[in-house]
Structures are given as structure tokens and as C-alpha cells.
Structure 1
């Protein structure tokens, strides 16, 4: 399938606005949007309705979740320039060194945090709750590398809260979906345990995590992790008083997709963005045809 109808860009295309920042051209944008639509198939399969999470996260709320013990380096603060700083900027002064007022909020570093904080004090019931959301996430990193490691990126997550067994089943079905989607897209992924828990690295929970990993990543051949399955145990249920009926504090789990990283993996696997988009469209068309064949009643 040809992609020659894409809008032409100026000579040289679109340049990066800065380290860790990127503007996607029309082909890569179509690839990202199409991949997100395909990956929402997990939400449809698990009957997880779409929601939109908050654009900022409370520092106080994140502190209760050990965020600043586990991920102190990732947080990107949301600050305001003081009136004096605004006067300086208007006069052409460089922004470096101008005072900022704290707002008590961070930009999200993962989609699930906003959803979990929004459910504080709630009872998700005996049957549990599933939600799907996609949002922009932001992380301070030690270095940035093309679409593999960005300051700001899109993350799709499918979150579950409920029973311990329900959380395990959620992750099993999520892992099955990742491998199925990768196969349809012509991606060769490897699965391995990760070492970035939601828990304090220095305590007994960290030692438990070493024996019983709570996160597994699915990586492209160049080592780029493009998806993960994350088992939180009942950590968030306890900290946020989220209950699962008579089962007590809710167990939670999420399946996460880094969309720019999926774009990177597709381009790597198929030799270029146009070829990757053609592969995505072919995979989507095949899936649609299969669905219609299996759902159309016999006459």
C-alpha cells in the first residue's frame, strides 16, 4: 500500500526542537495513531472503558506512593514564573536563572498514577475494575536517544484493580496480547524481568521483588523496551485505601505501551517509516477481515 499521498514537507523535513524532544512527520504520526488504535484492542478484549487521566499529579499524592524514593530522578516539576520573571522574559531576558514558583504538581511520568490517585478511598467491588487511558508522559533522563528515550512521549495503559487472582489473569492476557500484536506486525520481541519496582529499593519489598519480579518488559532486537506488564500487588490498594469489596485492599496491575518506542521498533524491523506503515495497514486489514469472518452468522 503506497504512502505517497502524505503531505509534502519543506526541504530537510522537521528538525528536533531540542534534546529529548521530537516532532513526528506525517508518516510517523500516522504510524503512531494507527499503532495506538491497534493496541486499544487489548482494552476492547478486556472490556476496559476509555478514560482521560489528569494532566498533572499532586506531589503530596505521589509522596504517599513512595514515588520520590523509587523514582526521584524522573519527576518533571510544573512551576510558574513569578511576576518579576515574566517582566524579564517580556523584556528579552534569558529564562535561565529566573525564579519559578512551585505549584505542588508534577507532569505525569506514567499514565496509571493519575488513574490510581483518582480512585483513592473507592471500592471497586467484588468484580474489580478495568480502565484504559493514553496520555503524554514526561521523564527527566540521564540521556536521550531519538525515539528510544524521550523527555515527553505517549503511553497507553490498561489498568486493573480487584483481586489477586484477577490481577494475575489481567497480566497473563496482556502478555498474550503483546505477543499476538507483535506477531501480526512482524516484530520479534524478547521478554525479561525489569529492575524498576514501584516499591522502596532498600527494604524487604525490594528483596521480595528480586525473588519474585513484578515487572516484565518486551524489547525489540536493539534492546528498546516497548511494552511492559506490571504487577503492583496490593501496594496502591493499601496506600490509597482502594478496596475490592470483601477481599480488602485491591490488588492492581497494568499493561503499558510506549507508543513512540513502538514506532521505533516498527521502523527498525521494516527498514523505514513508509514500509512500517504499510505493514501496519496490512496487519490491520487482515485483523478486520478475520473479525468479520468470525462474527458474521452463517446463512
Structure 2
């Protein structure tokens, strides 16, 4: 009985199916899987159990979280064909010309939204709660750029809900983990205050962000932000009725990693996917 050999990709490799869409080749896929495994080390360190978030988010829930006030440009809607379009589809008509009905749901633009909405009305106790998940996220970007900006990408997040002090400690531990892992992987990252936590840059919230920033990003030398630490204060706790025992509305914070962007940063730092894989394997040893 013959043994199948290794599949060889056609000349030119795998092509992009369209703008902002990429099929990762085997080396890039190995980088993505290996990096996510290393990034999950923060969850292990902080005893944050792994969960899987929902694939869709209700527009009503997102509206209560000010998503549309803050990020009206990012939403990617989930639609379904109207019943009267089905006969046309079956007859071979072009789908682009047939009517779609809104479902009331969006594809997630960040992993934490689904986790937060799943905890509405719960009490996480003064000791707090941590969760970790890698979700497929989607954003309506105005432009696309390799692995830096995509229609869809993987986002690993480690989320904390609890007391104000607990949230601050979570972010400090997360920032230390990013610096430590970057050193192991040979990545030169810079930390800076992010300028996009809220869409309304001219309002009172924007002025508050300038005085007391809630989001810091870690960026590769070409300016690609690959990780962030995000302090939500008690905003989500108040909006969703999530409590931290007798402490009142829970404070929340998350550490987020754009996994494809980490792949980009590794190739940028080490020259080729093969060399990047070597460094990844050494770091994971």
C-alpha cells in the first residue's frame, strides 16, 4: 500500500480570493497556530479558562454598549435573502442583484463583546472572573493591507471583570506578558497611547481619554499595532448589570492580540516565514 506524499502547492502559491481576504499557506498557518498557543500562555498564567464566544452579536445589545456611537464605520451586518429571492437563486440569478433582509445581528468586531453580553445580569463576586477566547472578528475597513488589515482575522483576548484594583492588576500583568513574549520572539515593540478608543474625538469622552487614557497599544517597527491593553472602567458593568459582589458594578479590562498581525510582525522581524517559524519553535521550547 502506498503512502501519500506531502501535498505541494501549485506554482505561485495560494492566491487572495479578493481584497482583504487571504488564505494562509502552510508556513503562515503554522505561525498563526503556534503564536496563538504562545499567546494563550497569558490565560494559563492568570488562570483564565478558555471559552468560545458567539458567532454573531445582536444589534440591540451592541447599541446598549455604545458600539454604534463609537465605531459606526466598523460593523459588518449578517443578512439573509428575502423569501422571494430564493426562486431566483435556484434559477441561477446573480445573488448581488437579489434583496437581503437584515437579521438584527452583526459579525463580531472584537472577541470581548460576546463574552460581556453573555454575562449580563451576573455577579462575578469581589474576587472577579477571568475568561480567555480566540474569536474570528470582522471589520468594515476603508482599506486593506496584507495581514495588517483584513475583512476577517483572529483576535485572542484575556478578559477580567471584578474590582477596580483587580482590573488594573490584570492590565499590568498583561503588559508584562507582552514585553516578555516579544523578547522571547525577537520582536522590537513600542508602547503608546492609542488614539481610537472612542469615535467621538471632539466630545467630553474624548477629552477624558486624553487626560486618562484607557487603551495602550504595542506596535511593531512599521507601526502595526499587534497587541493592546484596554481599561473599560465600570462602563460595561453598569450597562450590563454585571456586579462585583458588594463592590457594585464590575470594572473590566482586557488584553487583546491580533494573531495575524503577530504573524506579520514575526516575518517583518525575521525576514521569511521559515526563519520566523524557527524563532517561534525556539521560543516555545
TM, length-normalised to structure 1: 0.91
Contact map agreement 2:270 2:276 (CA 8 A) in 1: yes
- 1:199 is displaced (CA, Å) by 7.6
Could you say which residue in structure 2 is the equivalent of 1:213?
213
1:48 aligns with 2:48: yes
Could you say which residue in structure 2 is the equivalent of 1:12?
12
- 1:274 is displaced (CA, Å) by 0.7
Distance in structure 2 (CA, Å) of the matches to 1:169 and 1:75: 31
1:92 aligns with 2:92: yes
Q: Which runs of 5+ in 1 are unaligned?
A: 286-299
Could you say which residue in structure 1 is the equivalent of 2:21?
21
Could you say which residue in structure 1 is the equivalent of 2:151?
151
TM alignment of 1:68-217, pairs within 5 A: 68-197=68-197, 201-217=201-217
Contact map agreement 1:197 1:215 (CA 8 A) in 2: yes
Deviation larger for 200-209 or 14-23: 200-209
Contact map agreement 1:170 1:253 (CA 8 A) in 2: yes
Distance in structure 2 (CA, Å) of the matches to 1:123 and 1:198: 27
Deviation larger for 58-67 or 191-200: 191-200
- 1:205 is displaced (CA, Å) by 2.3
Q: Which runs of 5+ in 2 are unaligned?
A: none
Distance in structure 1 (CA, Å) of the matches to 2:147 and 2:6: 21
Cα RMSD (Å): 1.3
Contact map agreement 2:198 2:205 (CA 8 A) in 1: no
TM, length-normalised to structure 2: 0.96
Contact map agreement 1:6 1:27 (CA 8 A) in 2: no
User: The residue matched to 2:228 in structure 1 has which SS?
Assistant: strand
- 1:201 is displaced (CA, Å) by 4.4
User: The residue matched to 1:156 in structure 2 has which SS?
Assistant: strand
Change (3 A) 1:146 1:199: closer
Could you say which residue in structure 1 is the equivalent of 2:242?
242
| Cα deviation code 1:172-219 (max 9, x no counterpart) | 000000010000000000111012225854542221111111000000
Change (3 A) 1:73 1:120: same
> How many residues of Structure 1 are paired with residues of Structure 2 in the alignment?
281
Change (3 A) 1:6 1:203: farther
1:39 aligns with 2:39: yes
